A = this chain, B = another copy of it.
């Protein structure tokens, strides 16, 4: 999916919500455990209930890998289900990969060739040749970690270099030598508040993937105030607050209601640019 198509979806749905499919066998409603593939059954129901209110889904690979082969099957089935039934949805493989060139190439092959997923999250620590193998696919995106939502983001990402730049700023600036706003986005945590101002100085037009609204405590208003562009430029993710909003047989319906609430808040925020 290219940038223009993504912007059109956001305008059409008045939403820039991404739903994180952090599906944990220990957290899904008990009645699903009798299904042949409980993880997929959960995802399918969540997707059907929430698709009108979001523009992206983000399966978190850790949750699928933790179940080994069964988990990978559920992951593949989930991606296929979205692609077949909701082809307008942007899919993010939240994998935080990144390795030497020949290895990153294998990861790119997995997500972009084998599975035809739109985007993958990548960690920048290993530099240019760990990222560029992901950039050779037309219409596919790297979502590079910049300033994450967790407490540990302070440990290294905020380190100021002798050139006066903080590490996350260097990542933003340097990576523009390899990519542009048609094939790269950045992860910026919703918990980072006014830091969005500093980020927009370096990447005024790039889309940002923003986790941390909901369970992690970030504020949608603040993110929009400091981070929104004339094309929106934001994909805001919520995982736990939506998918685990209810643990009964009504879980999907309640997830839909929660997603709709967030979509309505987003529609408010979009009024200024639509």
Contacts and interface: CB of A to CB of B under 8 A. Distances in A.
Given A66-B106, A68-B110, A96-B97, A167 B162 contact: no
Nearest to A132: B152
Interface stretch (A2-10, A143-151, A202-210, A250-258): A143-151
A65 B107 contact: yes
A152 B128 contact: yes
Interface string A131-162: 10000000000000100111111111101111
A49 interface: no
12 contacts: A62-B110, A100-B149, A100-B150, A100-B211, A101-B150, A123-B123, A126-B157, A127-B153, A127-B155, A130-B152, A156-B170, A156-B174
A18 to B, nearest CB: 15
Contacts of A273: none
Contacts of A148: 100, 125-126
- Specify which of A94, A128, A157, A216 lies most central, judged by the most chain B CB atoms within 10 Å of its CB: A128
A17 interface: no
Interface stretch (A36-44, A69-77, A193-201, A226-234): A69-77
